Every structure is written in C-alpha cells, then in structure tokens.
Amino acid sequence: MPVEGARKIPLSCVVNGAAVTCEAYPMARLLDVLREELKLTGTKEGCGEGECGACSIEMDGALVNSCLVPALQAEGATIRTIEGVTCGGSLHAVQQAFITHGGAQCGICTPGMILAAVNLLARYPQPDDAQIRDGLSGNLCRCTGYMKIFESVVAAARDAEIRA
C-alpha cells in the first residue's frame, strides 16, 4: 500500500447557516468535502488549480476558491455556497437577474459566478463597469463572453437600490 500518514479528522463548521460535522483527510479539498461529504453539489470543479472560479464560495465572508482550501483550514469557518444564496424558497436578486438577463448559459460557471457577484455587491453595492469586471475576473465563463453576466449584475444592483 502507498505510505499513509494521515487519518481522517472530524470537521465542524457552519455551512449555509447550519452547523455541520463530517470527516475528511486534513488536506482534502474543501470543494470535495462540500460535494461529497455534505452532498452540496452546487459548487463545481472546473480546473482544480484555482483558475476558473467554478468552485468559488464565501468563507468567513471572503470569496475563496474551495479547490484551494484544505479541509483542516475550514474548521470553525462560516461558509456560504450557492445553496445558501437562495433564501428559503426565494431567489436572490442576482439569481433572478441571471435568469432574466441571460447570465447563465450552460450553467457550470454559474454557481461560482453568482457567489462572486453576490460578494462583489456586498463590497460595492453600486459597482461601476470596471469594478464588476474586476470582481468577476477570477471566474471564467466560456459560453457568454461575460456581456450578459455584467448586465445581470447591473440589474441586480439596480434592483437592490430600488428596494433599499
């Protein structure tokens, strides 16, 4: 058998508002813990090298690539995934905007893109074009050319402004 040094460890954190515990190897990717242990398959793997952002989640309020976070470092963290963006049964303004304005085509980049957009709007509630582009620059989309993603973010920001 290959050399083994690690044993699975217990992991406790808060995911989408709920306390969860599970077991994982200390250097298992948080992405895999979410998908395989917690069955939250909304977060996707696109590259396994922190380039595409399909695995984007919020960890303690910061946008991170979950494929680059080892499980041990998620101990005690507060995590939000795409499943936590939907509030109860209602769509978040960003999610609704993506539907209305064509921000999602094949949908594989969409969960990460929405997390990035939600995180951006939390930091810049009325972002300009440069801020939107910059905020999403870590999320690759092969289908849309980004145009309708920008439009979706602008629409969501406008929607929030009207509601505020």
Interface with another protein in residues 84-103 (CB under 8 A): 85-86, 91, 95-96, 98-103
Residue 150 touching another protein (CB under 8 A)? yes
* Residue of 1, 19, 162, 164 interacting with another protein (CB under 8 A): 1
Q: How far is the CB of 46 from another protein (least distance, A)?
A: 4
**Do 42 and 83 touch, CB atoms closer than 8 A?**
yes
Q: Smaller CB distance to another protein: residue 27 or 158?
A: 27
| Residue 41: CA count within 13 A, CB half-sphere | 2
Residues 21 to 40 in contact with another protein, rule: CB under 8 A = 25-29, 32, 35, 40
What is the rounded CA–CA span in Å between residue 75 and residue 93?
Answer: 30
What is the rounded CA–CA span in Å between residue 23 and residue 6?
Answer: 12
* Residue of 80, 148, 155, 156 interacting with another protein (CB under 8 A): 148
Q: How far is the CB of 77 from another protein (least distance, A)?
A: 10
Residues 49 to 68 in contact with another protein, rule: CB under 8 A = 49-54, 56, 62-65, 67-68
Q: Smaller CB distance to another protein: residue 1 or 19?
A: 1
Q: How far is the CB of 126 from another protein (least distance, A)?
A: 18
Residue 95, phi then psi, degrees to nearest 5: -60, -45
Q: How far is the CB of 87 from another protein (least distance, A)?
A: 11
Using CB under 8 A as the binding criterion, the count of chain residues that bind another protein stands at 86
What is the rounded CA–CA span in Å between residue 104 and residue 126?
Answer: 21
Q: Burial, 53: exposed, middle or buried (Cβ in 10 Å; 0-12, 13-18, 19+)?
A: buried
Residue 16 touching another protein (CB under 8 A)? no
| Residue 159: CA count within 13 A, CB half-sphere | 17
The region that residue 48 occupies, defined by phi over 0 for left and psi between -120 and 50 for alpha, beta otherwise, is: left
